[in-house]
Structure 1
């Protein structure tokens, strides 16, 4: 207990700094005066905090445009030599990485398709991208935050059925680098992005759903996902909204996954299951406007999607529902069927004021932005800022 007290005291002095950095991230271009009001601190305190962060190469300031007769203020920006996160995304057919600055912006985005589905091959490609980022930013990179299309429990990938993987140890990605490693489900992290800076920003309770290969998502409270015991919650694609006779690659039967993606479209069309359900679904959507069979397959898939969303709305009563990935073009392709199935699946008391169903702002970049947000949470925590201060070189000139 005695050793915990100095640690708490060491971190406490960074609490306001962490809150200020979070504001810079959530509201790019915020002024120091606005930040002071949001933090409920005096202008003098805000000036002291920003000066300390400037000296530690965390923030810089530039003159704000003149606005009325008030005292001049400054706009807060991330320092050009401040800490960085490498956000990464591992999907069914490809991977992406981006360097993230303290304002949440993605830089140096790189991507590549999997040469094979072998885990070692995929991780080798990701490690090469990481090593390139480390060589460009040798002292600034602090953590790797990875979004993966699979089930994550206790910070480990326990199953990625769409990749054909069981449990795979992904922590070796950062072995020997000294970088912290963070891992999350891609749909969950896309939900984080939407509640922080997207369509659900400001909502206390939000439900995010993403269709790619299957469907995943998250229930979020104040921008933080409820992930259940061990962090494996949010596997909405594996609730039994589907045909009980259908066997899912996850091992369960009747999974909703099988009713809402390219595999469902192929089944409705009497075609073989596609090797790349995501790409196949986009091809069918392109055919639907001028091919009646494709249009009927889309309508059936959209009906299954909307009915399941209604069931989750009944269960969770979210303020807002956001849709990402293929859920957006699917709804656009069959809006009448979506609305009918969604409203028809709601309990009577919800139909008068159903939760709005909004398209995700971040689109295909949702998981990458979510991984970035979680990574920045980590490197701007009170303890991480204290570590950065202790390890920083001499203060920057002010």
Structure 2
């Protein structure tokens, strides 16, 4: 495929339903060249055209550019601490089909078997169309696509076992992929340097600079949950003391409330936060965790000079219920150069869909240049 053809597919992926005339302008080509490109991609079952609404202007009417109904799909996978979801995703981001399941902290072989089964079901349902797999996981992912997930006990996992012969395969940390998705299609679109933080069982995140996540030398950047912003008396499963991640999640809420350690820390935390929103006995614990979150965000803004912070997972829940506690601790911790106009803290637009949306985006980014 030519570079122009790939660029046109990227335009339609970003803006499905873009007019052929607008696509030509974005590519910097004439209408004749755009018509030829569209015809070529239509013959390859990659794009289709639909009539555009009358514009009232003179000249030949333009058309809308849409994904071909028999075109390629990516299979996006999101594995969390408590469950998994697989989606077949069209060019442009529409979901053609999905499968879901729970695992309640099961061993990796059991989770792998369930996810592989769901992937195979979608491959069978859509025949030749699935061409790539993108996987989001709750842990660090090395450059050779091996997973280390301390919170779930999944160590040195080969993620490529979820792929199939001939498919493009990509994988990444859930918070990093969610950050990328927020920068492309969510609250951080247009931000110069965005900081995304996601709380589930622990905390992860990513810095997105100019639309691309900073992943570090070994693919492990963004482990902000293991910065020592928490209580030094509490040891993290990673081996360190005072990790921020376990000071802002369900484990800390249970500790503050005197409850036993929850086997389902995400579901537990959501129950606790919902009870606080209703004025229940959990208010004080939720406010304390929110303040710890705000102080840590201030430290990261001081060090990274981000112009926007997005919160996903339980972070968005805390922001909705305890915005004053987060905001006060955040402002108190900022250097004076940031206090006059603090970078805003906002909830992630994509919410819990962030990681799987990011996995799909990453898969499409890798797939588009390979399409013939």
TM-score band w.r.t. shorter chain: over 0.9
Q: How does 1:273-288 map to 2 (within 5 A)?
A: 273-288=261-276
CA distance in 2, matches of 1:230, 1:319: 26
Q: How does 1:129-144 map to 2 (within 5 A)?
A: 129-144=118-133
CA distance in 2, matches of 1:232, 1:283: 31
Does structure 2 conserve the Cα–Cα contact (< 8 Å) formed by 1:155 and 1:182?
no
CA distance in 1, matches of 2:49, 2:34: 12
Pair 1:117-2:106 in alignment: yes
Determine the structure 2 residue equivalent to 1:81: 70
Choose the corresponding residue for 1:173, options 146, 158, 162: 162
Choose the corresponding residue for 2:37, options 44, 49, 55: 49
Does structure 2 conserve the Cα–Cα contact (< 8 Å) formed by 1:115 and 1:121?
no
Unmatched runs of 5 consecutive residues or more in structure 2: none
Does structure 1 conserve the Cα–Cα contact (< 8 Å) formed by 2:200 and 2:314?
yes
Determine the structure 1 residue equivalent to 2:258: 270
CA distance in 1, matches of 2:94, 2:280: 43
Determine the structure 2 residue equivalent to 1:159: 148
Does structure 1 conserve the Cα–Cα contact (< 8 Å) formed by 2:202 and 2:249?
yes
Q: How does 1:227-238 map to 2 (within 5 A)?
A: 227-238=215-226
CA distance in 2, matches of 1:356, 1:16: 38
Determine the structure 1 residue equivalent to 2:324: 336
User: Once structures 1 and 2 are overlaid, which stretch shifts more, 249-258 or 109-118?
Assistant: 109-118
> What is the CA distance between 1:363 and its match in structure 2?
0.7
Determine the structure 1 residue equivalent to 2:191: 203
Q: How does 1:33-48 map to 2 (within 5 A)?
A: 33-48=21-36
**SS of aligned partner of 1:168:** strand
Does structure 2 conserve the Cα–Cα contact (< 8 Å) formed by 1:208 and 1:218?
yes
**SS of aligned partner of 2:154:** coil
Determine the structure 1 residue equivalent to 2:290: 302
Q: How does 1:225-374 map to 2 (within 5 A)?
A: 225-290=213-278, 293-374=281-362
Does structure 2 conserve the Cα–Cα contact (< 8 Å) formed by 1:227 and 1:234?
yes
Does structure 1 conserve the Cα–Cα contact (< 8 Å) formed by 2:73 and 2:132?
yes
CA distance in 1, matches of 2:149, 2:46: 37
**SS of aligned partner of 2:155:** coil
> What is the CA distance between 1:202 and its match in structure 2?
1.7
RMSD: 1.5
Pair 1:147-2:136 in alignment: yes
CA distance in 1, matches of 2:195, 2:344: 11
> What is the CA distance between 1:34 and its match in structure 2?
1.0
Change (3 A) 1:269 1:21: same
Counting matched residue pairs gives: 371
Per-residue CA distance 1:141-200 (angstroms, 9 max, x = gap): 11111000111111423411221222111211225x332221100110001110001111
CA distance in 2, matches of 1:40, 1:309: 41
Does structure 2 conserve the Cα–Cα contact (< 8 Å) formed by 1:104 and 1:376?
no
Does structure 1 conserve the Cα–Cα contact (< 8 Å) formed by 2:168 and 2:367?
no
**SS of aligned partner of 2:84:** strand
Does structure 1 conserve the Cα–Cα contact (< 8 Å) formed by 2:82 and 2:105?
no
Per-residue CA distance 1:55-110 (angstroms, 9 max, x = gap): 11110111111113143111110111111110001100100000011111222121
Does structure 2 conserve the Cα–Cα contact (< 8 Å) formed by 1:127 and 1:173?
yes
> What is the CA distance between 1:126 and its match in structure 2?
0.5
User: Once structures 1 and 2 are overlaid, which stretch shifts more, 282-291 or 14-23?
Assistant: 282-291
Does structure 2 conserve the Cα–Cα contact (< 8 Å) formed by 1:155 and 1:184?
no
> What is the CA distance between 1:367 and its match in structure 2?
0.5
